[in-house]
Chain A
């Protein structure tokens, strides 16, 4: 078993295939051979009987052979008298007749010539059966390893009569039958071998072609493991399991590459975000060290700037941590919360972000939803902050919800009538650090570029989806679909 499992899959499959094929062919061959043999033997027996019948009838019932009895009625000559002639007539080149009387005693043996087979010694059991009137007593014997067929024919006083006076035993050589059978057997074996060979080759080819593709997949896997994420199996279109596997595999690598690309972009972006504060810090420090430290007013300005940058850095770190925390779903504290209560409590807090905008609550049906209130508060703070940033004073910001079907849940939204989002930016706004061309004049520099990414992460953690609709100049609507449960 150990060596078996050490063999390559290709060899194992081929061996298995060939083994099963060989067993099937042998069984079929054996059955066919036996069947053919039975048929041939039966045919031979029937032929012997058919040939014997007119001769027996001629000798037993033929008129010229009738004698006249004492009373002048025709009478059969006693079997003893006709037996030698009958035996001789029934004997041919490969068949010898033996005549037995009603007691099973030998009356005559037809064998004269050496090429004629010797009569088989009568088997009393079969002779008795024939004497009792059984017509079809046939059996095979083997003498000097040669096969013979023995056929017993009861001799009746008249056709169909129950009066049996003796038995003819025909011993016929089955050599020709055996020869035919041997030829057939050889042919069968040869054909089986050819079938096996063809089957093996075909099987090996099929298995190999499948396994070759597995091999391609293996080498592709290795290449990918070595860091070449651009590689794909890319099998030509095929619908079988291997094709499905290859397709699924490619799909998985695509997804991984995408994720890794996003990750790489994220890191690059994060590094980029770090670069500006770091440049400011390094430069300020250098300038201080070069001597500006001796000028208290200038030094104070630089130090204030450095403080600002350090604050920015720590906020960025915090947000990054938020984001990574959000991406692990583990820390969700979901609880059933009535949406109306949640938003009625939240809206005044949102208003404080930008009191000079018009804040509207567009309450939907009274429903309870499972979510983490702390996280949802952050979601709506981020969305509200964005909305406020991109609307002019006096702008209208609406927060609301509706019931949704497929999936059963709630859609929550924050919409504004602000400047909208450039269509080119739209696909990217949820990417970490993405800043659109309309980034406005963010005087405070408070935006970390992570707000919407955090929103997306939180909503995704709740099994929901985020969508955005925006018309430049008209406004933006961010829609969160959150399923029940």
Chain B
């Protein structure tokens, strides 16, 4: 074990963490907006909205993320119309392509998570809101969405962790996040096991922090589920 080398590797790899976090943050937050819209399309009861959303989810969940990344980064440039459009300065850069692919991918998975959350809101609550004379949008804003999102939170936390893992694929289109730096280091030092193990430890630590944060948010959002502080103390054994 060469501790000096491990320490040096660790510090070098940490340089990729900001990019990793950026990719995760942008794709998860923009993806969440898409996902809410897609979930509403799925639940609208209107086949003109429902079926396109179904098709979207089917295609993006049925194909590997790496294919989606290649399709956007290499594929779109095939068409002169796209190369001459105003989007080209963005679509030419691996950074925006990675964010676009990750966003579209997570939106598909999150759609089903949010849809499940919304469906879990008890109908009695919606009935009560209607009885109070709330409009459809107000019911959605005040009753359905807050409770649906809270129910969806644990599954959404899993999805965020999966996205953190998925950002590693951005290294395949030359982005220098943790995995990208790691493979560069390996090609320079030929010490694959140490370098990749270090990178793995960084991912594990980040995912540990994310899962803690989600658990904290869950507790904050469901005070009614917390153990009652006034409960009788356990009898001594």
A and B from one complex: no
Q: Footprint of A on B, CB under 8 Å?
A: none
